[in-house]
Amino acid sequence: MLRNAFIVLSHSINPNPNPNFPISLPHLLKFSISRSSLPNLHRFSSAHSLTNRTSRHFCSSTTQSSMADAGNSSSSSSSSSSMEKQFEGFLQQLEQSGNLRDRIRAVAAEIESSTRLMHSCLLLVHQSRPIPEVTARAEAQIDVLKGLYRRLAEILRELPGQYYRYHGDWRTETQTAISLIAFLHWLQTENLLVHSEVEQKLGLDSSEFGLDIEDYLIGICSMSNELPRYVVNQVTTGDYDCPRKVLAFLTDLHASFRMLNLRNDFLRKKFDGMKYDLRRVEEVYYDVKIRGLAPIGDSTGDQGTQA
Amino acid sequence: MLVRCSTALQRFYVIMATSFDKSTVAAEARPSSNPAKKPRKMSTSAAAMTAAFDKYAHYLNTLNDKRERVVKASRDITINSKKVIFQVHRISKYNRDEVLEKAEKDLAAVTDQYMSRLVKELQGTDFWKLRRAYSPGVQEYVEAATLYEFCKTGKLLNLEAINASLLPLSDPSFEPLQINILDYVLGVADLTGELMRLAIGRISDGELEYAKTICRFVREIYRKLTLVVPTMDENYEMKKKMDTMLQSVVKIENACFSVHVRGSEYIPLLGCSSDPNFSFLGAQVLEL
């Protein structure tokens, strides 16, 4: 009796059966039955006698006892320890993955702060600073970013084929970086920075650590958000040709995006936002042109090339 | 007026884009490298842009088609795994072997027909890229396989064993599709819900002992998972499942408890000769 009570106690503390302790069917029965009546030792003894009756009853039916046997083996020490082992393994692997993720997030945070610096540099274009001065300072950050992406690639090299497992941890930062780099590139060349060029600039390699095309496209959509503001401020400082250039670029870009079959996802949402940028630039262009402020020669020339 | 003009232009560009020659697309012009002629610059940059976007369009189309096929495969796996689970639930004390035999066949059919389709679709790609598309199916498959295994042997089917059974499906030249820990754990979490149903069914069938075994098993899984869940990647879904799992455990415990408390009243009844099943049971014993 005392021994049984001890077993009950030790089991209630540690429900996992001790592998060193041989557990027979009646023991298990006692254990599980007495769990609900543990505080009442008096009832425990009556439950005990009930157990004997029920177990005798179970033994009378072969089918039933075979099912009970099959079930009981789950609580036998061998299978339980294999379950234990498997979950311990999971824990270990998941913790490892968590550590890796922390390292990735640390780099992603650095990417973010680098893009923030770059953004603040680029914001100077709205204050009509000369473009070469603005871009020179912003461009310095590209090298920083390149270094950070190299570090990211090194971390991921430890786990080949799991790029997209951790992708979410750097994708927002990367999209911002791309939108800024593309804007910078546009300021310098008035052209769109294509995917392969971004990879080149950031030292990424599609075969190993590449740039996801959807991230690139989202970045480009974000870049267009900057353009209406740029046009407004350029016109204010007297650059009347700017709306024409921006409009031509944005029209091309919008038309190009319309070639894509998008899903109902974030990229689609970003693209839907682009038409408002386009409209705003069109309005500015209209305002400038209707007042005869736009340089006439260039404007007709533009129409000529486009039509 | 101008707006209309610009949409007309857009239409023109779209037409231009679709009729764009493929050979020019392949040799993607670097727009930054020829800033020479100012008046023509707009059109060349537009062409380069079109060329680049043609590639992106191709990439997105291929990816989306693949995703659709993966989603379909995953749905087929879900439906057919559900059938296996229902088959296992038809178990009773008299037809155990027969039911499990059919369940095994059904499960093998799911593996051979539907899992193999998923494996073929995913091989050679990053398995994490489309995980959202196939995760539900894989979870259901894990659930069906582990439920069958529990009824058969009373053990938890290991991830290693499942993955080993998937190996023959994939082309040896590719890295084989392996179910990841997250999907496995999510599937095992769902398993507890099915086990709860099984336990309740067993109790109403009078197999209290089997129900108790299930109870211990589910409790053990719950206990193990409480440690694993906080380390999982996106554990919002998993946290919800943990709550459901606890409810399942409690349900089984309560059912065991109420049979237990009233046990002295009606458990012996099951064994009494007035039970019409009893003679049948005896006949079966004789057959064996």
Summarize pLDDT for A226-264 with one digit per residue, the tens: 999 999 999 999 889 999 999 999 999 999 999 999 988
Q: Is residue A15 part of a domain?
A: no
Distance of alpha carbon B36 from alpha carbon B61, whole angstroms: 35
- Here the tokens at position B281 are 């049971």
Do A140 and A193 fall into the same domain?
A: yes
- Residue that is last in its domain, among B143, B178, B213: B178
Residues in chain B within 8 Å Cβ distance of A74: 150, 154-156, 213, 216-217
As a whole number, the mean pLDDT across chain B is 79
Q: Helices A266-290 and A213-236 meet at what angle, rounded to 10? A: 20
Q: Is residue B6 part of a domain?
A: no
CA distances from A174 to A115, A225, A294 (A): 9, 17, 37
pLDDT band with cut points at 50, 70 and 90 for residue B44? low
Q: Which helix (H) or strand (E) holds A294?
A: none
Distance of alpha carbon B239 from alpha carbon B230, whole angstroms: 8
- Total H helices, total E strands in chain B: 12, 0
Residue B234, pLDDT score = 75
- Overall number of domains in chain B: 2
Cα of B113 to nearest chain A Cα, Å: 26
* pLDDT exceeds 80 at position A172: yes
Across the interface, whether the CB atoms of B56 and A165 are under 8 A apart is answered no
- Overall number of domains in chain A: 2
Q: What is the CATH number of the domain that holds B132?
A: 1.20.58.190
Distance of alpha carbon A203 from alpha carbon A198, whole angstroms: 8
Residue % of chain B over a pLDDT of 90: 47
| Lowest mean pLDDT, pick from A45-59, A82-96, A133-147, B133-147 | A45-59
Q: Residue A205 forms beta bridges with which residues? A: A209
- Residue that is last in its domain, among B178, B202, B224: B178
Across the interface, whether the CB atoms of A305 and B40 are under 8 A apart is answered yes
Residue B127, pLDDT score = 87
Q: Is residue A110 part of a domain?
A: yes
Contact B214, A80 (CB under 8 A): no
| Lowest mean pLDDT, pick from A79-88, A208-217, B267-276 | B267-276
Residues in chain B within 8 Å Cβ distance of A66: 96
For B52, the closest chain A residue by CA position comes to A194
C-alpha gyration radius of chain A: 35
Q: Is residue B268 part of a domain?
A: no
Do A195 and A230 fall into the same domain?
A: no
Nearest to A267 by CA among B115, B59, B274: B59
Distance of alpha carbon A79 from alpha carbon A19, whole angstroms: 10
Distance of alpha carbon A128 from alpha carbon A123, whole angstroms: 10
- The stretch A4-16 carries a mean pLDDT of 41
Do B173 and B189 fall into the same domain?
A: no
Residue B271, pLDDT score = 46
The single-letter code of the amino acid at B245 is M
Q: Which of A75-89, B17-31, B184-198 has the highest mean pLDDT?
A: B184-198
pLDDT band with cut points at 50, 70 and 90 for residue B125? confident
Say how many CA atoms lie within 13 Å of A175 toward its Cβ.
17
Domain around B174: 63-178
Place of tokens 């995006």: A257
Q: What is the CATH number of the domain that holds A197?
A: 1.20.58.190
Residue % of chain A over a pLDDT of 90: 47
* pLDDT exceeds 70 at position A110: yes
Q: What is the CATH number of the domain that holds B221?
A: 1.20.58.200
How many CB pairs below 8 Å do chains A and B form together?
231
Do A196 and A268 fall into the same domain?
A: no
Domain around A171: 90-206
Q: Show Cβ contacts of residue B239 under 8 Å, excluding neighbours closer than 6 positions.
A: B229
Q: Show Cβ contacts of residue A182 under 8 Å, excluding neighbours closer than 6 positions.
A: A192, A193, A198, A219, A220, A223
Cα of A163 to nearest chain B Cα, Å: 7
DSSP B158: P
Q: What angle do CA A28, B156, B237 make, to 5 degrees?
A: 115
Do B71 and B126 fall into the same domain?
A: yes
DSSP A23: -
Across the interface, whether the CB atoms of A32 and B49 are under 8 A apart is answered no
Distance of alpha carbon B155 from alpha carbon A71, whole angstroms: 8
Q: Is residue B37 part of a domain?
A: no
Distance of alpha carbon B183 from alpha carbon B203, whole angstroms: 30
Better-predicted residue by pLDDT, A221 or A207: A221
Across the interface, whether the CB atoms of B60 and A260 are under 8 A apart is answered yes
DSSP A18: P
- The stretch B139-165 carries a mean pLDDT of 93
Residues in chain A within 8 Å Cβ distance of B288: 62-63
Q: What is the CATH number of the domain that holds A268?
A: 1.20.58.200
- The stretch A146-172 carries a mean pLDDT of 89
Q: Is residue B19 part of a domain?
A: no
Do B102 and B156 fall into the same domain?
A: yes
Contact A179, A192 (CB under 8 A): no
CB distance from A92 to chain B under 8 Å? no
Residues in chain A within 8 Å Cβ distance of B284: 62-63
Q: Helices B159-166 and A77-122 meet at what angle, rounded to 10? A: 80
- B-proximal residues of A, 126-145, CB under 8 Å: none
Do B231 and B241 fall into the same domain?
A: yes
Q: Which of A1-15, B34-48, B59-73 has the highest mean pLDDT?
A: B59-73
Across the interface, whether the CB atoms of A214 and B60 are under 8 A apart is answered yes
Do B129 and B158 fall into the same domain?
A: yes
Q: Which of B48, B207, B256 faces A64 most closely, judged by CB atoms?
A: B207
As a whole number, the mean pLDDT across chain A is 76
